[in-house]
Amino acid sequence: MARDSRGKAAELLTVRQVLDELGGISRRTFYRWRELRIAPACIRLPNGELRVRRDVLNDWLEDRAEGAAS
């Protein structure tokens, strides 16, 4: 089981949940971002499905906030 930085179980989001969290972007856009290596890091499960850890998504969003230090 994935763990966050505090050692507790990390929440794993489905691609659909990530799309919804990002304001309903299309699945195609998300996979294009993956091709360009600008999407949040994903975990590929043995069945081929992708998951994104909640803390990884939050960090990814924070890094893209306007005015964030580069």
Among 9-13, 15-19, 25-29, 44-48, the range scoring the smallest mean pLDDT is 9-13
Pairwise pLDDT comparison (67 vs 51), residue with the higher score: 51
| Confidence at residue 67, expressed as pLDDT on a 0 to 100 scale | 77
| Residue 35: its H or E element | helix 27-35
Q: Does 70 have pLDDT greater than 60?
A: no
HSE-CB for 11 with a 13 A CA cutoff: 8
| Confidence at residue 4, expressed as pLDDT on a 0 to 100 scale | 57
Give the separation between CA 63 and CA 20, rounded to whole angstroms. Answer: 19
| Confidence at residue 66, expressed as pLDDT on a 0 to 100 scale | 85
